[in-house]
Amino acid sequence: MSLLRKTLAARVLYLKDSWLYRILPSVRHKPFTAEPCGDLSESWNDVEPNPNQLRWRPFNIPKASEKKVDFVSGLHTVCGAGDSKSRNGICIHLYACNTSMTDRCFQNSDGDFLIVPQQGKLLVTTEFGKMMVEPNEICVIQQGMRFSVDVFGETRGYILEVYGAHFELPDLGPIGANGLANPRDFLVPVAWYEDRTVSAGYTVINKYQGKMFSCQQDFSPFNVVAWHGNYTPYKYNLENFMVINCVAYDHADPSIFTVLTAKSTRPGVAIADFVIFPPRWGVADHTFRPPYYHRNCMSEFMGLIKGHYEAKEEGFQPGGASLHSIMTPHGPDVDCFEKNSTATLKPERVAEGTMAFMFESSFSMAVTKWGLDTCNRVDKEYYKCWEPLRSHFNPKWKPASK
263-275 confidence digits (pLDDT tens): 998 988 999 999 9
Specify whether 253 is located in the same domain as 229. no
Specify whether 46 is located in the same domain as 181. yes
- Whether 286 has a binding-site annotation, put simply, is no
DSSP 336-373: HHHHHHS-----EEESTT-EEEEEEESS-PEEPHIIII
* pLDDT (0 to 100) of residue 6: 52
Residue pair 5/187 in contact by the 8 Å Cβ criterion: yes
Among 175, 204, 180, residue whose Cα is nearest residue 261: 180
The model's pLDDT over 142-195, given as tens digits with 9 standing for 90+, comes to 999 999 999 999 999 999 999 989 999 999 989 988 899 999 999 999 999 999
* pLDDT (0 to 100) of residue 354: 95
Specify whether 335 is located in the same domain as 200. no
Task: State percent of the chain over pLDDT 90.
Answer: 84
Query: Is 158 domain-assigned?
Result: yes
Residue 109 — pLDDT band, cuts 50, 70, 90?
very high
Query: Is 77 domain-assigned?
Result: yes
At 58 the three-state DSSP class reads: coil
Query: Is 399 domain-assigned?
Result: no
Query: Is 19 domain-assigned?
Result: no
Residue pair 288/341 in contact by the 8 Å Cβ criterion: yes
Query: Is 173 domain-assigned?
Result: yes
Residue pair 245/150 in contact by the 8 Å Cβ criterion: no
- Whether 294 has a binding-site annotation, put simply, is yes
At 175 the three-state DSSP class reads: helix
In the 8-state DSSP scheme, what is residue 243? -
What residues are paired with 189 via a beta bridge? Answer: 3
Specify whether 297 is located in the same domain as 230. no
Tell me how many domains the chain contains: 2
The model's pLDDT over 243-261, given as tens digits with 9 standing for 90+, comes to 999 999 998 888 999 999 9
Query: Is 114 domain-assigned?
Result: yes
Picking from 238, 269, 302, the residue at the C-terminal end of a domain is 238
The whole-chain average pLDDT of the chain stands at: 93
Average pLDDT (318-335) is: 95
Specify whether 180 is located in the same domain as 71. yes
- Residue 312 reports pLDDT greater than 80: no
Specify whether 324 is located in the same domain as 368. yes
Element (H, E) at 167: none
What pTM did the predictor assign? Answer: 0.94
Query: Is 263 domain-assigned?
Result: yes
Specify whether 63 is located in the same domain as 131. yes
- Whether 134 has a binding-site annotation, put simply, is no
| Active-site residue, from 251, 286, 324, 392 | 251
Specify whether 93 is located in the same domain as 226. yes
Question: Quick one: CA dihedral 8, 14, 15, 20, positive or negative?
Answer: positive
Residue 233, domain CATH: 2.60.120.10
User: CB-based burial of residue 62 (10 Å sphere; 0-12 exposed, 13-18 middle, 19+ buried)?
Assistant: middle
Specify whether 219 is located in the same domain as 273. no
Answer yes or no: 251 catalytic: yes
Residue pair 115/122 in contact by the 8 Å Cβ criterion: yes
Q: How many angstroms separate the CA atoms of 337 and 327, rounded?
A: 21
Query: Is 186 domain-assigned?
Result: yes
Specify whether 212 is located in the same domain as 251. no
* pLDDT (0 to 100) of residue 7: 46
Residue pair 90/82 in contact by the 8 Å Cβ criterion: yes
Domain limits for position 94: 4-10+32-238
The model's pLDDT over 4-49, given as tens digits with 9 standing for 90+, comes to 545 444 444 457 899 999 999 999 999 999 999 999 999 999 999 9
Q: Which of 99-103, 209-213, 286-290 shows the lowest mean pLDDT across its residues?
A: 286-290
Q: Half-sphere exposure of 352 toward its Cβ, with a 13 Å CA cutoff?
A: 4
Question: Quick one: CA dihedral 224, 230, 236, 240, positive or negative?
Answer: positive
Specify whether 132 is located in the same domain as 189. yes
At 28 the three-state DSSP class reads: coil
Picking from 238, 258, 278, the residue at the C-terminal end of a domain is 238
Picking from 184, 210, 238, the residue at the C-terminal end of a domain is 238
Query: Secondary structure of 330-345 in the HEC alphabet?
Result: ECCCHHHHHHHHCCCC
Specify whether 78 is located in the same domain as 201. yes
The model's pLDDT over 111-120, given as tens digits with 9 standing for 90+, comes to 999 999 999 9
